[in-house]
């Protein structure tokens, strides 16, 4: 019974209710900020993975072009071209 009267007294006290509301709001903002940070981090990682995949695709295209060009070269010229690409 005393707990009910205590809760009743707290609910009637506007200062305590304002403090509790501020705490609840602060906790809500903290949680929302954490979710926002997590979403930004996920988006950043996805963008990095996409950029890496695009770089690999471009390197594969360049290598394929070089391989096609090297097929028509004599052996010594093909070796020189391969060594040039190996240094990259």
Query: What DSSP string runs through the chain?
Result: -HHHHHHHHHHH-HHHHHHHHHHHHHHHHHHHHHHHHHHHHHHHHHHHHHHHHHHHHHHHHHHHHHHHHHHTS-HHHHHHHHHHHHH-
The answer, as to whether pTM is greater than 0.75, is: no
Worst-scoring range by mean pLDDT, 13-17, 30-34, 47-51? Answer: 13-17
Average pLDDT, the chain: 79
């Amino acid at each position: 019974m005393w707990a009910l009267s205590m809760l009743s007294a707290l609910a009637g006290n506007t200062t305590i209710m304002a403090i509790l509301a501020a705490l609840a709001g602060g906790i809500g903002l903290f949680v929302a900020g954490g979710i926002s940070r997590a979403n930004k981090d996920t988006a950043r990682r996805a963008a990095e993975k996409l950029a890496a995949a695009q770089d690999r695709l471009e390197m594969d295209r360049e290598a394929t072009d070089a391989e096609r060009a090297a097929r028509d070269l004599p052996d010594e010229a093909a070796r020189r071209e391969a060594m040039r690409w190996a240094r990259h």
